[in-house]
Structure 1
């Protein structure tokens, strides 16, 4: 039986500028920043101390929902905090405890052993301390078997299995920022203990996950993976790659290991831009979050569970199985996506050809400006033949397609003509956003105007790409890049094609 989610009221500290205010631990203070929002400190969150391994004392936090009685096995969620954070901080900067109240599983939030920083690969090798003098860096050992925090997590899993009735096939890990790096490191080395992992805001360095020849660095094999990337995540200084490349390289890494179909199902819900990949060995979810800064959204734990973890299991033979999830991982049933300069479109999650490329067009004012001009609007114009196909309209044309007539399913008759800003709707002309264009033998009109004014659809514009749906959807920049790769016929690219993979720091060794 599903438990009830209750969001407790807290006192917002709008003047706060600390990364993790300590008063959040002992009061009902909450903070809100476009990257980190918090819930009120959960009353049932318990602090623990003890020696797990290496003779060193560690600290961790456990959340056991009120519904737990030990009568049946329950999943275990391991949440790894970001750099300079704590286990209790991760508990309030995520909604895992709320999901646990609903689903009945147990949460574990360990502290990094030293300086609130996880000992992960990919930081110390290229870190310039002069650019961040207040940021401590904990060097990882050369051999993952000697990594204390990695061993601590393994030991804590064993302890949780001793203390509670844990379903060993349903152990999951999630991390934010440096916690994402630690989660990825654990998944690559000890992923056989997990059914799935998720992370936000912390892509791994290419030299950590690939050899120079493009082969993968991995000891543990496939598992279900979720990658969240805030649109405004940003990059540390001095990198040879941009956000688009590092995002692709990390996505391609798990696509390769999980043997994913390179073409995903795409769904955009509000500011959440999903790409769902089906794999032969395990699945992958990519999420681009519109207008979000480095960090994680407060509902991400619910998304991880509802879309992926709720159906995932590691079987006794080591394989991953994916059953029904709380929310199905399906693409948008109705969606049309086009981009400037491309002669294809994404229609209901299928790439289709257009008879002419989409064209980005500017609406100008120049009267009275002494030869100057002002851009008053910018629109993406697409062939009317595509719009007819999308909305099931009857299409006819005259004068080599310079005049086009459409008959919509509801019986409305539309007529367009090259160079005219008017659309004749049932003998009642109305002005469009811009004039109709004639390109490569096709008549083009603004997709924004047609979708919004004629068809009453929602549309979103990002970097000269337009996404049209029947529900609220806000297209984000990383999803634009992913869809353009689909249009270019490159949904998966050989890692060797990226300089960040082939050109690695000299101290980095390739694996044999």
Structure 2
């Protein structure tokens, strides 16, 4: 497919801005930046429209971006992008790169406004579904009244009507209609997809997981009316929704499980960590799921979120008239890191080249201590994940030769270097030369354990990042993030089996 080159346009920074969406930006080249929301100059081709799309007396407002290369003789994809709470359609357009992607890849984007107070009429629920509580979580502000019957929900029906409007107005490829939302727009996209997702080829959400009580009945059965659809979930590491870390990890995990189960995905994904982007790619019998955790990003959406969604996922998916999801080659393949290995504190399995493999004993965090001269006290000078040497040798393609009593071991690396380790020694003999490791070699269950960080960096010249007791090593720059660390630990606890995932039942199962 022909593409147009992306051109970043310079903007006028407003570094003193502290407003969420400064009205003076509209139609200008002013740009604002914070950790989670970064804007581009107002696109010249972005056009505003007002019309009552339904018969309820409400005038709807939306913004359209039609690329310069649009040819009515050729069918093009359509994306609806839903703004966050207290934002607007034009605000969503400048806080994302959807207009740039539309220009590059020749598709049309519509950015609708919520009908009331810049807040979508979405369902509100509880973060947990299995705690026996009723009622809803406290809302951050005044919410519009949300009808129990979605057929009476103006915003949901407006989105359906806008899709039909765009199909009548432009030459839209009906097999390639997508929706994406940020924050409350993510909740709106999720609600729409659970009820009307069978008109979409794919749906994506950034920054706000769905209340679990809306996804599951109290006994764990999935609640869904529209069935399978390709899903993309972006979760910034510093999202703080909900604010409690452990609860947030559970909510994110079960949001992922929900679509994995509906789409018939296997529990073990392919994992790729590139810079701050932590990807898990799930293949399903009915549809696929992509999960993205973004290191050190706050609530919102990154400027490149649209680019990632389109190029990794939406560029290679369509829904046929019979409802079947068909995948073709996406612009960027959804494949895991070709060479990578990982381990987690307390887990007896490791991750190796997109496989879960058994280890001879559990990995464990170990602290390097300073206590001399501290009058009986101690200071922690480092904390490292010690991993079975046999696992590290297998990952590195090295020969592993333990002694009969397993208290020492020799490893021969593929390049011929000879390594020797011993219980309780911080030393490693490399071709008859002594080098100190980060911490001493441990001995557990007849197995020597050494620091995965030192082994990978010093001996293999790899990039290693660690988070919450999980370490990930590969041959390129990577920064492991909190949600991905939780995902990996989830896989390594029980050999790739996910008991909570397996207990989830489908509707009418």
TM-score category by the smaller chain? Answer: over 0.9
TM-aligned CA deviation for residue 492 of structure 1 = 3.9
TM-score (norm 1): 0.94
**CA distance in 1 between partners of 2:393 and 2:4 (Å):** 47
The verdict on how the C-alpha distance between 1:424 and 1:494 changes in structure 2, with shifts beyond 3 A counting, is closer
Equivalent residue for 2:314?
309
Q: State the Cα deviation string for residues 269-306 of structure 1 (Å, max 9, x = none).
A: 11111111111111111111111111111101011111
- Asked if 1:106 is matched to 2:116, the reply is no
Equivalent residue for 1:163?
169
- Asked if 1:262 is matched to 2:264, the reply is no
In structure 1, the gaps of 5 or more residues are 502-509
TM-aligned CA deviation for residue 206 of structure 1 = 1.2
Equivalent residue for 2:131?
none
3-state DSSP class of the match of 1:56?
A: coil
TM-aligned CA deviation for residue 396 of structure 1 = 1.5
Q: State the Cα deviation string for residues 144-166 of structure 1 (Å, max 9, x = none).
A: 00111111111111111111101
**CA distance in 2 between partners of 1:332 and 1:228 (Å):** 19
Question: Aligned match of 1:350 in 350, 355, 374?
Answer: 355
Q: How many residues align?
A: 497
RMSD over aligned Cα, in angstroms? 2.0
- Asked if 1:393 is matched to 2:398, the reply is yes
Q: State the Cα deviation string for residues 449-468 of structure 1 (Å, max 9, x = none).
A: 11001110000010111100
TM-score (norm 2): 0.94
- Asked if 1:211 is matched to 2:211, the reply is no
The verdict on how the C-alpha distance between 1:353 and 1:168 changes in structure 2, with shifts beyond 3 A counting, is same
- Asked if 1:409 is matched to 2:414, the reply is yes
TM-aligned CA deviation for residue 88 of structure 1 = 0.3
Equivalent residue for 1:504?
none
Cα contact 2:125–2:212 (8 A) shared by 1: no
Q: State the Cα deviation string for residues 153-200 of structure 1 (Å, max 9, x = none).
A: 111111111111011110000000100000011111111111100001
3-state DSSP class of the match of 1:62?
A: strand
Equivalent residue for 1:60?
62
**CA distance in 2 between partners of 1:361 and 1:494 (Å):** 30
**CA distance in 2 between partners of 1:187 and 1:493 (Å):** 26
Structure 1 segments, 4+ long, off by >6 Å, are 495-498
Q: State the Cα deviation string for residues 96-116 of structure 1 (Å, max 9, x = none).
A: 000011100000000000000
1:39-50 correspondence runs (5 A): 39-50=40-51
- Asked if 1:126 is matched to 2:132, the reply is no
Q: State the Cα deviation string for residues 451-486 of structure 1 (Å, max 9, x = none).
A: 001110000010111100001111111111111111
3-state DSSP class of the match of 2:53?
A: strand
**CA distance in 2 between partners of 1:291 and 1:305 (Å):** 22
Question: Aligned match of 1:147 in 153, 159, 167?
Answer: 153
TM-aligned CA deviation for residue 408 of structure 1 = 1.0
**CA distance in 1 between partners of 2:360 and 2:501 (Å):** 33
Cα contact 1:422–1:432 (8 A) shared by 2: yes
The verdict on how the C-alpha distance between 1:491 and 1:196 changes in structure 2, with shifts beyond 3 A counting, is farther
**CA distance in 2 between partners of 1:204 and 1:264 (Å):** 22
The verdict on how the C-alpha distance between 1:491 and 1:479 changes in structure 2, with shifts beyond 3 A counting, is farther
Cα contact 2:348–2:493 (8 A) shared by 1: no
The verdict on how the C-alpha distance between 1:240 and 1:215 changes in structure 2, with shifts beyond 3 A counting, is farther
Using the TM superposition, name which of 290-299 and 392-401 deviates more: 392-401
In structure 2, the gaps of 5 or more residues are 127-134
Cα contact 2:89–2:111 (8 A) shared by 1: yes
Equivalent residue for 1:507?
none
- Asked if 1:173 is matched to 2:179, the reply is yes
TM-aligned CA deviation for residue 391 of structure 1 = 0.9
Cα contact 1:274–1:288 (8 A) shared by 2: yes
The verdict on how the C-alpha distance between 1:338 and 1:511 changes in structure 2, with shifts beyond 3 A counting, is closer
Equivalent residue for 1:335?
340
TM-aligned CA deviation for residue 209 of structure 1 = 1.5
TM-aligned CA deviation for residue 372 of structure 1 = 0.7
**CA distance in 2 between partners of 1:397 and 1:126 (Å):** 58
Equivalent residue for 2:436?
431
TM-aligned CA deviation for residue 126 of structure 1 = 1.9
**CA distance in 2 between partners of 1:511 and 1:399 (Å):** 57
Cα contact 2:237–2:483 (8 A) shared by 1: yes
**CA distance in 2 between partners of 1:353 and 1:491 (Å):** 13
Cα contact 2:349–2:359 (8 A) shared by 1: yes
**CA distance in 1 between partners of 2:112 and 2:66 (Å):** 15
Cα contact 2:345–2:362 (8 A) shared by 1: yes
Equivalent residue for 1:33?
34
